[in-house]
Amino acid sequence: MPLGGGNKCGCCQKTVYFAEEVLCDGRSFHKSCFLCMVCRKNLDSTTVAVHMDEVYCKACYGKKYGPKGYGYGQGAGTLSMDKGESLGITHEEPGPHHPTCKPNPSKLAQKFGGADKCPRCGKSVYAAEKVIGAGSSWHKTGCFSCATCGKSLESTTVADRDGEIYCKGCYSKSFGPKGFGYGAGAGALAHTQ
């Protein structure tokens, strides 16, 4: 320990007294000086990463010294808007937005805000009762059900063919592969009455 009461801070080179000392990689720091070299966040023993004589938070260390390239994403906690300009990558600006849905051709519907028509019953489908499946809007109750067995469907259980919707079991029985070795199994056994 040098003369003057304590070790020198690895950042500001001033004396660090025992009550404010943080030790890292054999060096002493003031608690207020123990910051990431890049983002200046406070560090502790669980968030520090050391490279040579520099201290970083793990996120900044990974960006600066970690593996680069496709498949080495840093995850949602460290998303970046960096587009790679520093590496000489140039990007084209996206073109104008073109809606993918077809507008309702009816002049009356455009004037009064008409709704889509349900393919099962032919009536208007409003936002509060709307479910989208097979590229169409359906009534959630009654109409959004299997065409074969009538079972109510959800977005995860729907299968479509030629604009009609089916449950996965009925779809595989009607349109799936046929022959020996393609049995539907116990999960798709039909209940006979």
pLDDT given at position 103: 52
In order of their start, the domains of the chain are 130-175 (2.10.110.10)
pLDDT given at position 90: 66
pLDDT given at position 110: 46
Q: What is the CA radius of gyration of the chain?
A: 32
Q: H/E/C letters for each residue in the chain?
A: CCCCCCEEECCCCCEECHHHEEEECCEEEECCCCECCCCCCECCCCCEEEECCEEEEHHHHHHHHCCCCCCCCCCHHHCCCCCCHHHCCCCCCCCCCCCCCCCCCCHHHHHHCCCEECCCCCCEECHHHEEEECCEEEECCCCCECCCCCCECCCCCEEEECCEEEEHHHHHHHHCCCCCCCCCCHHHCCCCC
Confidence of residue 37 (pLDDT cuts 50, 70, 90): confident
Q: Lowest-pLDDT range, 45-54, 87-96, 183-192?
A: 183-192
- State pLDDT tens for residues 100-149: 455 555 445 444 556 788 888 888 888 888 888 877 888 888 888 898 88
CA 178 to chain centre: 38
- State pLDDT tens for residues 7-27: 888 889 899 888 888 888 888
- State pLDDT tens for residues 39-86: 989 988 888 988 888 889 988 888 887 776 655 555 555 555 565 565
Instruction: Look at residue 167 and tell me whether its pLDDT is greater than 80.
Output: yes
